[in-house]
């Protein structure tokens, strides 16, 4: 009975995020399309036109997969950290004083963040078709297959940030940006990192998104000639590392969140 009640609360929190997203559809759509256009069409397009020739694979397809992984992770992460950003205003105050376990609140926020960030996936596909990036139905299927892992790790990163900076909405906001940009540039999303060495190589391997981007590409390029040129590790390895990071972040983040939430 209690589990059912907690599940109902998590669904409620998730449904609220989705409904808010839908109600504010103009801003939601603008936000969902802005980053695909900025990162994929403009940044990726510029790199592709000037440096993409002679790579031996389609750079824009390469960039699409990197952008999918990064944006879904970041949007899900931001969906969870909004819990802290709004904690002193609006309905979030109500959530914190309701008789709902903190675990259910976090679960509901991860679900909500995942569903709303899924809209950016549609935006990414739309932008891809608009600028002529080759994408088959099988390719879309491969991307959809990996999205649950992207949502999970994005949610886990959001939980960790909420746990570390739980008492300061401003700090969470800044930390989100500070996590977002290094992930985008060092995970191999837009710029290949296969030949990185030294400190940069260490940083590349410290980025959780590196393994997600590589997992997505590993599944997408499986059995194609480009596989050896773009994929760093076996997808099974990437999956294990991604899940391990997600579990560590979820456990540590939840512990810190529950502790910091009241110990101010």
Partner 1 sequence: MLRTALVDARQDYEPVIHVENLVKRYRHSETAAVDGLSFDVRPGEFFALLGPNGAGKTTTISILTTTLAKTSGTVNIGGYDLDRQAKDVRQSIGIIFQNPSLDLNLTAEENIRFHVSLYGIYGYRPSYSMMLRSYRERVMELAQVLGFAGEIFKPVKTFSGGMKRKLEIVRSLMHDPKILFLDEPTQGLDAVSRASLWDYLQKVHREKKTTIFLTTHYIVEAEGADRVCIVNRGRMLFSGSPEAMKSPMVGKYLLLDAENRDSLRSELTGFGPELMEDGRLKVRFSESTPQDILSQIKTPLSFMCLHEPTLEEAYIELVSNGHEEEEVS
Phi, psi angles (nearest 5°) of residue 59: -60, -40
Q: Which stretch binds partner 1 (CB under 8 A): 36-44, 97-105, 194-202, 208-216?
A: 97-105
Degrees, nearest 5: CA angle 131-118-30? 60
Residue 243 CB: number of other CB atoms within 10 A? 15
Our finding on whether 88 is near partner 1 (CB under 8 A) is: yes
Task: By CB under 8 A, name the one of 50, 90, 138, 235 that touches partner 1.
Answer: 90
Q: Which stretch binds partner 1 (CB under 8 A): 20-28, 174-182, 208-216, 225-233?
A: 20-28
Task: By CB under 8 A, name the one of 30, 34, 42, 98 that touches partner 1.
Answer: 98
Q: Given the complex with partner 1, which of 6 and 238 has the nearer CB atom?
A: 6
Residues written for the chain: 264
Q: Which stretch binds partner 1 (CB under 8 A): 11-19, 76-84, 156-164, 211-219?
A: 11-19
CA count, 13 A, side-chain hemisphere, 56:
8
Our finding on whether 174 is near partner 1 (CB under 8 A) is: no
Size of the site for partner 1 (CB under 8 A): 30
What are the CA-CA distances from residue 27 to residues 10, 34, 102, 126, 212 (Å)?
Answer: 25, 10, 29, 18, 28
Task: By CB under 8 A, name the one of 97, 137, 138, 199 that touches partner 1.
Answer: 97
CB of 113 to partner 1, least distance (A): 17
**Which DSSP string do the residues of 117-148 spell out, in sequence order?**
HHHHHHHHHHHHHHTT----HHHHHHHHHHHH
Our finding on whether 234 is near partner 1 (CB under 8 A) is: no
Which tokens is 71 given? Answer: 């944006």
DSSP state, residue 54: T
What CA–CA distance (Å, rounded) separates 45 from 59? 9
Our finding on whether 26 is near partner 1 (CB under 8 A) is: no
Q: Is 179 helix (H, G, I), strand (E, B) or coil?
A: helix
Our finding on whether 3 is near partner 1 (CB under 8 A) is: no
Q: Which residues does 169 contact at the CB level (< 8 Å), separation at least 6?
A: 84, 85, 86, 87, 88
Q: Which stretch binds partner 1 (CB under 8 A): 5-13, 38-46, 48-56, 139-147?
A: 5-13
Our finding on whether 23 is near partner 1 (CB under 8 A) is: yes
Our finding on whether 197 is near partner 1 (CB under 8 A) is: no
Task: By CB under 8 A, name the one of 100, 119, 152, 189 that touches partner 1.
Answer: 100
Which tokens is 233 given? Answer: 């590790």
Q: Which stretch binds partner 1 (CB under 8 A): 37-45, 56-64, 87-95, 200-208?
A: 87-95
Our finding on whether 8 is near partner 1 (CB under 8 A) is: yes
Contacts with partner 1 by CB under 8 A lie at 5, 8-9, 11-13, 15-16, 19-20, 23-24, 88-101, 261-264
């Amino acid at each position: 009975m209690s589990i059912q009640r907690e599940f109902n609360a998590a669904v409620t929190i998730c449904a609220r995020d989705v409904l808010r997203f839908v109600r504010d559809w103009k801003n939601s759509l603008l936000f969902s399309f802005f980053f695909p256009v900025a990162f994929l069409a403009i940044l990726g397009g510029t790199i592709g036109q000037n440096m993409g020739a002679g790579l031996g694979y389609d750079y824009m397809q390469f960039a699409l997969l990197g952008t999918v992984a990064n944006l879904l992770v970041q949007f899900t992460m931001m969906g969870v950290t909004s819990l802290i950003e709004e904690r002193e205003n609006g309905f979030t105050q109500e959530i914190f004083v309701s008789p709902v376990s903190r675990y259910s609140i976090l679960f509901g926020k991860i679900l909500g963040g995942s569903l709303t960030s899924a809209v950016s996936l549609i935006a990414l596909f739309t932008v891809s078709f608009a600028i002529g990036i080759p994408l088959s139905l099988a390719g879309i299927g491969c991307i959809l297959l990996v999205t649950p892992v992207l949502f999970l790790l994005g949610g886990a990163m959001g939980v960790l940030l909420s746990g570390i900076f739980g008492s300061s909405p401003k700090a969470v906001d800044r930390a989100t940006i500070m996590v977002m940009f290094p992930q985008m540039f060092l995970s191999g999303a837009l710029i290949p990192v296969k030949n990185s060495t030294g400190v940069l190589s260490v940083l590349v391997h410290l980025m959780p998104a590196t393994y997600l981007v590589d997992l997505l590409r590993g599944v997408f390029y499986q059995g194609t000639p480009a596989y050896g040129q773009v994929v760093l590790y076996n997808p099974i390895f990437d999956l294990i590392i991604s899940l391990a990071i997600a579990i560590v972040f979820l456990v540590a983040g939840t512990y810190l969140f529950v502790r910091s939430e009241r110990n101010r």
